[in-house]
Amino acid sequence: MSYENRDMIDLGNYNKKFDIVYMSSVIEHSPDLRKTFSEISRVANSFYINMFKWKFKTGGVISRYHSKSKHYSTYFNIEELMSLLKEFGSIEQSFISGKSSGVWDFNNEYKNKFEDINRNGKFLTLIGSFK
């Protein structure tokens, strides 16, 4: 089957055609995160989202458009991002990983220890399923 190129806020007529949607370092460029989650939950049964632009206490879920470089960008607040994603499904795994620093479960004692990490080789990964 052949699929055309689509925008992440308009994925076409592929209702539940995919077992999983994999997004790596792209979700922070969504022009509208709610529409993106709505679309990927409509076309897929589960998700694997990997991102590097995130923070614990600042940021949000609203994208900013950068007219000079012509792209959207968002520094996510992790808790707001996870709350929005939970409206469309459930998060089964959430962890932070890095090249030389191991893997930390987001929900354990390391949460506060790494609160200011972002864009330094540490990736936030969310894995789950949609309703």
What are the per-10-residue average pLDDT scores of the chain (131 residues)?
71 90 88 93 95 70 84 81 94 79 57 50 85 92
Q: Tell me the torsion sign for CA atoms 33, 19, 131, 123.
A: negative
Q: Which CATH class is domain 18-130?
A: alpha beta
Are the beta carbons of 13 and 44 closer than 8 angstroms? no
- Residues in a beta bridge with 62: none
pLDDT of residue 102: 61
How many angstroms separate the CA atoms of 122 and 97, rounded?
5
Class of residue 126 by CB neighbours under 10 A (exposed 0-12, middle 13-18, buried 19+): buried
How many angstroms separate the CA atoms of 77 and 40, rounded?
20
pLDDT of residue 120: 53
- The single-letter code of the amino acid at 7 is D
